[in-house]
Amino acid sequence: MSDTLLKIARASISNRLGLAFPEPDCPPELSELGATFVTLTLDGNLRGCIGTLEAHRPLFLDTRQNAIAAAFSDPRFPPLNMAEYAHIKIEVSLLSQAAPLAFSSEQDALLQLAPGIDGIIFECGQKRSTFLPQVWESLPEPSSFLAQLKLKAGFSGSFWSDEIRLSRYTVSKWKEQ
């Protein structure tokens, strides 16, 4: 499955750029519903990352759409160009179903986070953000991880409210070499 998902992502981006890159045949398990994130890096730096938190379409289609969105619609970056294409590395993360985290305070929530394992969804009101488990590599301290997640959602890093909801998920991930 790993090789196939990476090839689907690469073919989707290639074809959008007008390059002929055949998409691989999809095994039956890729027709099952799945939620993925596609992350692009260029020279080791983030170049795009878009994904789905809840499985609502076939895995092959979710991967295809998220690859195109990561390359051409991530609001943090201009659309990927032909010169960059040859140098990007693609990573596909397949998300487990998210499970709500029960906590009584921010400190209680921080003690429950599993660095390097948990992907976290932060929600408060209409605002939501997430970090994949891979983000722990650059934010290894739970307090910094959560503070940056709050900033990503549009709050201050010190913000706290009883209305905050946190959920966790894990990923299976595959990266081009």
Q: Which CATH class is domain 2-95?
A: alpha beta
The pLDDT, as a whole number, for residue 80 is 97
Helix (H) or strand (E) holding 51: strand 45-51
The pLDDT, as a whole number, for residue 1 is 65
CA triple 72-76-77, angle to 5 deg: 45
Whether pLDDT at 30 is above 70: yes
The fold of the 99-170 domain, in CATH, is: Dna Ligase; domain 1 (3.30.1490)
- What number is the average pLDDT over the span 86-95? 96
Contacts (Cβ under 8 Å, ≥6 apart) of 61: none
- Separation of alpha carbons 144 and 142, rounded Å: 6
The pLDDT, as a whole number, for residue 138 is 93
User: C-alpha 155: how far from its chain's center?
Assistant: 20
3-state SS string for 91-159: EEEEECCCEECCCCCHHHHHHHCCCCCCEEEEEECCEEEEECHHHHHCCCCHHHHHHHHHHHHCCCCCC
- Separation of alpha carbons 134 and 111, rounded Å: 19
pTM: 0.90
Domain spans, the chain: 2-95, 99-170
Tokens 């939501």 correspond to what residue?
128
Predicted confidence band of residue 27 (pLDDT cuts 50, 70, 90): confident
Tokens 């709500």 correspond to what residue?
100
| Higher per-residue confidence, 25 vs 143 | 143
Whether pLDDT at 23 is above 90: no
The string of pLDDT tens digits covering residues 114-138 is: 999 999 999 999 999 999 999 999 9
The pLDDT, as a whole number, for residue 39 is 97
Whether pLDDT at 76 is above 70: yes
For a pLDDT cut of 90, what percent of the chain falls above it? 92
| Higher per-residue confidence, 171 vs 20 | 171
The CB-side HSE value for 81 (13 A sphere, CA atoms) comes to 3
Mean pLDDT is lowest, of 16-25, 45-54, 121-130, 153-162, for 16-25
